Amino acid sequence: MKRRKKVQHSSQSNKWMVTFADLVTLILVFFILLFSMSNIDNIKFKQLVNSLGLSESNGADASIIEFESSSQSQEGNNKKVLSNKSAELDRILLQVQQYLEENNLQEVITANRDERGVVLVLQEQVLFETGEAEILKKGYPFLNELGALFTTIPNQIKIEGYTDNRPIKTYRYPSNWELSTARASSVIRYFIAHYDLKSEQFIAIGYGEAKPVVENTSEANMQKNRRVEIIISDPTNE
């Protein structure tokens, strides 16, 4: 009778167990990471523990150690930054309003705050002759006050020019669009020429006779519509 050959089991036949153990470990680590990044409902967790009888058997209440997530921390920092920027705009508005009061300019320059930021409205006579875009010398003091202020803030600044609805047709200004844009540009050029300010901080816009604040039915109303608005933008709304 032939003898049966003894079957020799290779050590490699058990290697799959090592691979399986590694896989289980990786899956366990993955779910631990998911658990650590998830938001745990404290009430539901306690209900689960109580249903399993863990609270009674241990003689103590189950508790969760709550950690502030990175997203929550970032959100808190963002709110603090926005709050500081809002307070800075309030400070700027107060400073300008005090200057206007001290120099009796409230009738021709107004300073307020809306969703755009701090909005300064300068009537035409503060800066320009009618139909011209060259800044008058009497407008220098207020522009100097603003220029010094602008060097201390990073906010974007919009200069918007407006006219009344009376047509203009000259060699330099064929229409109110050119005149209003030239006035806005003149104000920006003044700031850049006299202060350490970059052109990237400014935007010049000419609206012409569009967007009047009142109807052009009288000379007084037309005078109100001929204006330059300087807007210190609110960074939270950009």
Q: Residue ranges per domain, the chain?
A: 15-58, 81-237
Among 124, 94, 123, residue whose Cα is nearest residue 108: 123
Structure-block tokens of residue 62? 């189950």
Domain 81-237: CATH class, spelled out: alpha beta
What pLDDT does 57 receive? 47
9 in the Ramachandran plot: left (φ > 0), alpha (ψ -120 to 50) or beta?
Answer: beta
Give backbone dihedrals phi and psi of 101, rounded to 5 degrees, phi first.
-70, -45
Structure-block tokens of residue 159? 């200069």
**Are 127 and 195 within 8 A, CB to CB?**
no
Structure-block tokens of residue 73? 């921390």
What pLDDT does 116 receive? 94
Q: In what order do the strands lie in the sheet with 227-233?
A: 109-114, 117-123, 227-233, 157-162, 202-206
What pLDDT does 2 receive? 53
Task: Give me the tens of pLDDT residue by residue for the chain, a chain 238 residues long.
Answer: 555 555 555 555 565 565 767 777 777 777 676 666 666 566 665 665 566 555 544 545 555 555 566 666 666 656 666 667 788 999 999 999 999 999 999 999 999 999 999 999 999 999 999 999 999 999 999 999 999 999 999 999 999 999 999 999 999 999 999 999 999 999 999 999 999 999 999 999 999 999 999 999 999 999 999 999 999 999 887 6
Structure-block tokens of residue 214? 């009142």
What's the rounded Cα separation, in Å, for the pair 221 and 4?
117
Q: Which helix (H) or strand (E) segment is 81 a member of? A: helix 70-102
Among 111, 105, 145, residue whose Cα is nearest residue 126: 105
Q: What is the largest CA-CA distance in the chain?
A: 130
What pLDDT does 23 receive? 72
**Are 122 and 108 within 8 A, CB to CB?**
yes
